[in-house]
Structure 1
Amino acid sequence: MMAMKKSFSLLFFLPFLLLAIIYFVIFPNEFRLQSSLAACGDSAPATAADAVAKAAPDIRVLLGVLTRADKYERRALVRLAYALQPAPARAVVHVRFVVCNLTAEEDAALVGLEIAAYGDIIVLDCTENMDNGKTYTYFSAVPRLFAGEPYDYVGKTDDDTYYRLGALADALRDKPRRDAYYGFLTPCHADPRTQYMSGMGYVVSWDVAAWVAATPELQNDLKGPEDKLFGRWLRWGGRGRNVFGAEPRMYDYLDGGMRHGPTCFRHLLQADTVAVHKLKDNLKWARTLNFFNATEGHKASPLFHVDH
């Protein structure tokens, strides 16, 4: 009886076994072909724009946002504003917050949490200050911190400035990769020999940052308005001779509710902006982000309703 059951089972499965053998003999690469086609389909850019976005970057920029450890709310806003920007095409632009030593117990703990969550904070070995050497400490530290993977350009800005990262990368792409100094020249219409890049933000080529790091004499000239000092250092050392003023694409914020009107460095928001400065409160940030459509495109959801 058991022998009959075994024979019946073999006879039942034999046709399926024969079909499987025939299939694999005639179509031995069918599964491999299907999987390779699927992989190609997954990796192929859907549009020409996607193809450009996936192209290898041809420029690398580090943008350091000088701020204080205790400015948690501002950092959260700035981080979100940059995270929602489209990725710059063919460029790497890294935004990093720059603070001095974490001396307060709460800062050591809470900034530590930010570092663990986002990895976008540089803690310099300095005492927090505005006009007593923090800019020097930042530029002199960068070549050592990123020696293994240097950038083409190193920028410095403040936490009340909003850069449009793609516009910045495009503006720098055709500039020299050596001896470059890019930003908003101030004072307006002054003798070029006395102008310097405004603290709203400026960028130098990697070799200029390396020169700052390798020039200990600069430590004797650290007291005073740091951006003015930075321009003086470059003139003294004969560096940053490829000077590029970004006005009017970099400027201070202005809207109808402000007491002061337009000037050579302050005007209304414009479409081809590289950077907007003087965003001192959340309302100015909100209006700026609205202007550049950063607040558009929310996915529909029954969980929220937002009136603009």
Structure 2
Amino acid sequence: MNNGKTYTYFSSLPQILPKRYTYVMKADDDVFIRLNQLNGVLLSWDLVEWIGKSGIPANETQGPEDKLVGKWLKIGNKAKNRFSDKPAMYDYPGTNGRCSHELIPETVAVHRLKRWDQWFHVLEFFNVTKQLNNSKFLHL
């Protein structure tokens, strides 16, 4: 974690993807993302290409990933139309003092879902499973 995986991911995309995309994003596997509310979390393809070519990101890969991406863009004078959706993107309640708070309806993404009970709480809060039929394999 925080050892260059974001740089490696974004800088590799232009070389491994068969075509240009309008936007791309990266998310950890412990993040719940509400796709309908998603905005401001994506990087345009020109920024991804810049990350792969510029020495700025290549020389700044150690540290908190989210802050590093913002730092790259600031130093490189890129993404002047950036949008931050705080407090709609946050860590699960109680997992991190500065970036966590209770679940809110305006949520775009909840990070640091490390345990099943946390996932269940988030899925229940946002009624994700409400429309699903009970499984014939589940016996309560």
If the TM-score is normalised by the length of the shorter chain, which range does it land in?
A: 0.7 to 0.9
Q: Which amino acid aligns with 2:37?
A: A
Supply the distance in 1 between the matched residues of 2:92 and 2:37 (Cα, whole angstroms): 18
2:2 is aligned to 131
- Structure 1 residue 221 corresponds to structure 2 residue 64: no
Cα deviations across residues 14-73 of structure 1 (Å, max 9, x unaligned)?
A: xxxxxxxxxxxxxxxxxxxxxxxxxxxxxxxxxxxxxxxxxxxxxxxxxxxxxxxxxxxx
Among candidates 154, 157, 162, match of residue 24 of structure 2: 154
Higher RCO by CA contacts (8 Å cutoff, separation 6 or greater): 2
TM-score when scaled to structure 1? 0.40
Cα deviations across residues 117-170 of structure 1 (Å, max 9, x unaligned)?
A: xxxxxxxxxxxxx2332211100111222242x3222222222211011211xx
1:188-199 equivalences under 5 Å are none
Root mean square deviation, CA, Å:
2.6
Supply the distance in 2 between the matched residues of 1:249 and 1:207 (Cα, whole angstroms): 26
Supply the distance in 1 between the matched residues of 2:63 and 2:138 (Cα, whole angstroms): 48
Supply the distance in 1 between the matched residues of 2:139 and 2:119 (Cα, whole angstroms): 21
Report how many residues are paired.
140
Higher-Rg member (1/2): 1
Return the structure number with greater helix share. 1
Return the structure number with greater strand share. 1
1:67 is aligned to none
Q: Would you say the 8 A contact 2:14–2:52 is kept in 1?
A: yes
TM-score when scaled to structure 2? 0.81
1:206 is aligned to 45
Among candidates 219, 240, 247, match of residue 86 of structure 2: 247
Compared with structure 1, are the counterparts of its residues 299 and 204 closer, same or farther at alpha carbon in structure 2 (3 Å cutoff)? same
Supply the distance in 1 between the matched residues of 2:125 and 2:95 (Cα, whole angstroms): 21
- Structure 1 residue 144 corresponds to structure 2 residue 15: yes
Structure 1 unaligned regions, length at least 5: 1-129, 173-181, 183-201
1:15-164 equivalences under 5 Å are 130-148=1-19, 150-164=20-34
